[in-house]
Amino acid sequence: MDDRRNAAVIGLGSMGAGMARALHRIGIPTAGTDVNAKALQAMEHDGIATHRTPAEAAGAADIVIVVVVNAAQVEAVLFGEDGAVAAMKPGSVVVCCATIAPERAKAFAARAGEHGILYLDAPISGGAEKAAAGKLTVMASGPRQAFDAAAPALKAIAETVYDLGADVGIGSSFKMVNQHLAGIHIAAACEAITFAKSLGLDIAKVFEVITKSAGNSWMFENRIPHVLAGDYSPKSSVSIFTKDLGIVSDMARANKFPASMAGTALQLFLMCEAAGMGADDDASVARLLAGICKLDLPPEAWPQPAPADDEASSIQ
């Protein structure tokens, strides 16, 4: 297979931008699109072609990678006005990396198939740094033809690609298990560091000790530095977890499964969103708890003004 098949990335936020650069770096002709003009300018600076609409970006692409926030955005960029699918060549493939409910992935795959377009359900994990390094984990499911068509791009963006079977939706189900754990671990880490503050402990020393102890987690080690720095600029936003833990809760309820810890974590993220922190870093759970308990965390301990509309992108 020709590893230089053309690719397009729809959504150039922290993850999509890194993925576009990883594709470009190994010589795959890559185009991108995003609603944020600054994201397009950053791609152009790196020599990556940009387009105004998903249709324009996808027209010459064999592989269209979708890295947006939610199912509504996936539907819009694939099937809405100026959507990608209508412009794509039969036999090309959509690689959907958005975190969405499994049933929505199945529905999108069926609609793409009506146009002769393959669909790979391929949610990702690893964060912005691994996206930029081409070392993501991809939890993929879909027909063999879709895996084969997407192979050059998967090789560029991922260190590990799990083939989870032929049925679209399995990849999204695996991702929701991951998000169940991620959301709970973030909430627990933020609760723990704020609890330490309430005990009068040096929270920087708490971080040092816990990261060398059995209570550590990847999320504690990754997110608590944001709290120590008082920096809540979003690496992953609160609103991501109100969405994802909402999906987890809906799936659990439909399956009569008592996901009590996911429900508790969801309420903490919802409280953050209600307090004006939805667009801020998900470590904001710590400053929510600090605010309730009147504890002083490092500065910026309470919500700052949201960025102006021209600074924010709805596609990430």
Span 73-116, pLDDT tens digits:
999 999 999 999 999 999 999 999 999 999 999 999 999 999 99
Find out whether 233 and 276 touch, Cβ atoms under 8 Å.
Answer: no
For residues 195 and 146, is the Cβ–Cβ distance under 8 A? Answer: no
Active site residue 175: yes
What whole-number distance in Å separates Cα of residue 31 and Cα of residue 205?
A: 46
Between CA 288 and CA 194 the distance in angstroms is 10
Task: Please state whether beta strands 136-140 and 124-125 pair in parallel, antiparallel, or not at all (unpaired).
Answer: antiparallel
Task: Say if CB 77 and CB 68 are below 8 A apart.
Answer: yes
Quick one: average pLDDT of 137-162? 98
Identical fold, 7-168 and 173-311: no
Q: Is 300 helix (H, G, I), strand (E, B) or coil?
A: coil
pTM (whole model) above 0.75: yes
Residue range 51-80: average pLDDT?
Answer: 97
Model confidence over 261-303: pLDDT tens digits?
999 999 999 999 999 999 999 999 999 999 999 999 998 545 5
Q: Exactly one of 38, 89, 130, 175 is catalytic; name it.
A: 175
CATH of segment(s) 173-311:
1.10.1040.10
Q: Per this entry, what is the length of the chain?
A: 316
Residue 67 corresponds to which tokens in the numbers above? 């890295």
Domain ranges of the chain: 7-168, 173-311
Q: What is the pLDDT of residue 300?
A: 54
pLDDT digits (tens, 9 = 90+) for 279-290: 999 999 999 999
pLDDT confidence of 315, banded at 50, 70, 90? very low
Q: Is the pLDDT of residue 160 over 90?
A: yes
CATH of domain 7-168: 3.40.50.720
Model confidence pLDDT, tens digit, residues 175-219: 999 999 999 999 999 999 999 999 999 999 999 999 999 999 999
Q: What mean pLDDT do residues 237-261 have?
A: 97
The overall average pLDDT reported for the chain is: 94
